Structure 1
Amino acid sequence: MPAPIDQSSRIRNPSAPRKGVSFRSSLLRNLILLILLLSSATLTISYFGAQRAMRFLCKDLVVSRTERLESELRRFFEPVPLQLALIEDWVQQGLLEDFEPATLNPLLAPILAKSTHISSINAGDAEGNGQMLLRTGDTWTNRSVTPGTPARFRQGKIHGTPLKEWTESVDYDPRTRPWYQLAMSQPPGEDEVVWTEPYTFFTTREPGITASVRAHRPSAKEIVLAVDVLLKDISAMTQSLEISPKGFAFVIDHQGQLVGLPKNERFENEKVRNESYLKHPRDLGIPVMSEVFLKATAQYGLKLSEHGYPKIEQLDPAKIRPFFWKSDGRGWWSYLRPLQGKNSPHLWIGVAVPEEDFLGELRQQQKQLLTLFLLALAVGTLISLQLAKRYSKPIEDLIGQSERLTRLDTTGTEMAPSGILELAQLGDAHERMRVALDSFARYVPDDVVRELLKNGEAAVIGGKSLSISILFTDIKGFSALSEKLSPMELTHHMAEYFDAMIGIIRQHHGTVDKLIGDAIVAFWGAPTPSETHAHDAVRSAWECHLKLQELAEAWKRRGLPPLPTRFGLATGVVVVGNVGSPSRLSYTALGDSMNLASRLEGANSFYSSWILASESTVREAGEEFVWRQLDRVRVKGRNEPESIYELLGPQDSLSDAIRSRKKAYESAFTAYLARDFSTAVQILETLPEDASAVRLTGICRDYLESPPPPDWDGVFQFQSKS
């Protein structure tokens, strides 16, 4: 028999009787009237009518995608004429009269710094004098050209003063450049912004387009101002635009040459990408791009050039409309039209979208149209409002709690009461799921669970190679300690210990892999990658060491034994992922560095140390910490020797005495490796209270009495795993 319902419990007994009507009965009772009212209307909706509506919707959707592309391009290009207008205004005010870098750079450099879509700003006059300000990363380069003299170059940081200057002979005359000639060809009094055809820039040898304008200085000398835009920046925009899951966008000039590349895996290669600019789509080696233009040629009635390419400039605007075509049995919708907008370059934009990308959205639109039709009916509206009021609140509460669960937020909230049996049962089931997930999260690394929930993935067997830092801990003398406490006392004592240790590890972004008896295994750098995983691991070990010293005093006052803990740290590439069987998984790391961290933890007992780390950990942890090289060892399972280091503490808190002992020990160790055992003994005898120094002193004295063989390399061989 089921247990009676506990009214104080947060989870109600699902078998307990509830008052109310079932969701199905309530829904059927209210929908019967709607069915009677709408049956005549629904019978008139035919298959062919739906297909026709779908085709119209496809056209609208491909047009909307194209308009979105056009809107993005306008936003991309619109700042360029505005910047030119600003510079032209400065020219007319006489601010750029002397045409010298000292005047130009302070005005133009801020524009270049803030306008990431602009690669360079140029100016030239009728005498052949020219100025260029070019941005390369966070560096600007200024080139001053005067006929008959070498060009002067200045270079510096975007927000700084020039770092270096030099002269160089350059065969450059601004009057021969397309942007200058195009601006000067405008009729007098019509000083509008003009755009060049795509061409290769003189300085960077990169393809792009230029906007230029003729400006008048107070001295009546005309100059031409120009702003360069790289095709790679246009392509970055077209490739980043999410047209549809499998659709793509592109931009061409009136000759059909590619200005903005479509999103395609071929263009992930920089060399291929650079070679594809200003090519005709037919020459890219991408079948669907070739077919788009073949279909556009037929659809729009385009004539072919002498090279067999469609003449885009002859496209009749009256024929511009979306068109449907098929490739390998797959339906596509495409649209090609000129870029609209004042002061925009003369370019053509196009999109191509597989019909299958629209199906889900089109079905959703059909449902929305049907919903709008239903809402138009007065009776249907009244009934829908009543149903929404009765059903929506409990469902919204469940949705909100489900959203929190996806973030592993398992705090419970009260659900709005509902008279619908199924909704109440669903709320109970959801609450049980929340409690189960809350319990489950305590057994596995919560970072891993959050990652799975965030991505909507199931945990499956698999892993990947990552560079991480690993920590192994072990309590010194735990077996003897555990015999002195009752099971309950030991459990509570260890709970307080683990809470402190794990709290510090998580505070520094560590993932607790597992607890093995009194030992903790943790790592940094997975599942969330980190550039500072070694530093975080070392910082965690040191803070745990200090925290245990603090807790030891508190435990002593309560009559509890201290829990001195040894730490082993290693950094390296391991396999991180889900390991186990399909029925039982563990998120862990496997590899040589895991074994090394375990060996180093065990080596603490041999060297009378507390925190040992591998050379890779010391190297990647940075200069915040002070280390002492204790030895060179060859641990079991590894052929290569490993330098091991003892953590002495942070740089900013280390005493002079500890620094002095470190220096003395390492000097002795250097002499030891050089077989100068007598010198090593003399130094080590100044450290009588240092256990590691005492150990090394004994070894040196043994070697003084019985020298090691000639091939001795100073590497200590660990025969055991600890």
Structure 2
Amino acid sequence: MKVRLQVGVATAFTIITVVMLGIVVAFLYAGNRELALQTARKEMLEARNLSVSAILEAKSQTGRVVDVIASSVAEFPKGVRSLETLNVLHALIRGDEQFYGVYFGLEDSGAFYQNIALTEDVQTFGPNDSEVPKGIKRVLRVIDGPDDARVEQFFWATDDGYTVKFAEGSVDFDPRKRPWYEGALEKDGLFVTDLYRFESTGRPGVTFAKRILDKTGAVIGVAGADITMSTILKNFEAIRIGDEGLVFMMNQDDQLTLFSGTRASGDGAQFVNSGAEGQIAVENGVIAAAISHWTENRDPFFRFSTESDHLTFIGSVAPIPEMFGSQPIIGFAVPEDEFVGAIKQTTTQVLKISAGALALAILITVLVARMLSQKLRLVADEARRIREFDLTDDLDLRSSIREVSDLNQAMSSMKAGLGSFGAYVPKELVRSIISKGEKVAVGGQSREVTIMFSDLQGFTTRTENLEPEALMPALSEYFETMEKQVTAHSGIVDKYIGDAVMALWNAQKADDKHCENACQAVLACQRAEAEINASNLSSPLVPLHTRFGLHCGTVIVGNVGSLSRMQYTALGSSVNLASRVEGLGKVYGTRALVTEPVVLHTEGLFCVREVDIVSPAGTTKPIRIYELLGEEDDRGTYPASPEMKREVEDWNTCYALYRLESWTEALAAFEDHLGSSSSPMLVDTYIQRCRNFIAHPPDEEWDGVYCFKTK
């Protein structure tokens, strides 16, 4: 691959500079990014440790409260069944918002005593949804009595011991059948339930329970304390990292139990149930992606991205010590930009400054290279125009460099020689030879082409007394007009034969519409000829009257001759037939005859009328010939007039009778059509044929083909 001098110099300089800058910037970015990711690991580890410390502290404090309750009931088993005992229990949890309630249940009677702490957002409470009085911060719940007549009572209570009963009724609640009670009986020490929602408020929480034993080891009952998730939720909100960081907790079965919103959104932490509600929570795209990566890989620290916004996040997921009856898992998901955003911004600024410096350096390099290559580029452009056979403009190359000046003179001489050469052979052929840069050789290839022959009517008679000095300019002007129309419609003039022209389509250059273009060229030549007849009255050839013949067929196109002298042309029977068709115009008095293959290739595009089925001299196969009259479309460049289209309809009526061998009817029709026809010679030809066939009918084997014995 070859490149221009200035492009090559500028490109090489740019690549070297970009690579060097890229290496430096990438090294700095990678180092700073790794440092930021290490900071992220450290922050997430510290946040997890902080969360664990807070949860363990809550667990330890709750355990101490349950121990005190159990010890108190064991010490005074008969005196604890009173409201005063609940006031004492309340003193254990006063001011600690994590506690929802403290209580104990007795084994012998199923009695249940509970102190419940109310939060400010609780408006009603109890079995009848009683409105909470102003200033009331707690409720005492007592279930006691014989097994068959236990009564449940609710009391509003204040911190100073004032109580008022507000609800009473029978109940089927039995603490001995509750999971926390049964779990405590089966375990030594402190028993902790899984996360669940409290029956009375629907809030999430955990129950700590411990069995109560007397001095003999017999079970007196079970003491318990309910704590809400408020402490854990607030802890979750506190350990979020950055404005867009998320925190979530899963149970040991990888089910989501807690998750937080982002600081930027203002959403706090919230508890979710397993099952349907938990599934809804997992639809948070970031948390879902983090959990999916964790369950598949179990990496404690990883990078991941979401499908929705394609942002990159840093995730950290790891179990924490056993608590609440299971071993939870805490995870963090923080956008990578929280850590590397500043680094990216700084890197972007560095890249912008570097890009500006690089652009300036490239500009200077390009200017210097341009000064060095300007003359060479002019020479290269001139050579490229010569290769494309564009010989119009002369190269104005002034240079003090001797070699460049010599090259300029050599190229000027070459252009002059090629210009003269192009006057002898088709320019398309010369352009092809030069552009391919290959040696020409004798040979050709078979392909379908459209061949045109034209001939000036009465040329020999009108020019036999003309001097060559007068004839040559007029004939050259005529040929130039014909060639201009041929080349304008994608054809090439193959040769001039006296006053005749031979042109080809789809020969040297492929043309899918070669028949259409050839017909357009014939119509264009007729119009150009009419303009010459109207304007150039001084020419000895005026008025011009050219006959055209078009045929489409397979020929051999290529170079014919010897190695020292050859000619590009077309050979084959189709060339001979095209010449014969042009000559038939003399017989029928037509301007432009085309063969059936041309009509089939351009069906519907041009207005034509069938002239005859003939076997020209020198041919063996009959062929239908048509007269080309114009374009079928009235909006075309060369449309057939309405009068001409009506004439064609009248002609077709006459011609159909002729083909049916209805000689008498055909004769009458042709004679009637003669007066209005624009081609009286054609009509008269068929009048004479009909009269002849009436007098001498053709043989029964006659196939309707008119055979010509002479050219």
* TM score, norm. by length of structure 2: 0.46
Q: How does the TM-score come out when normalised to structure 1?
A: 0.45
Q: Which has the larger radius of gyration?
A: 2
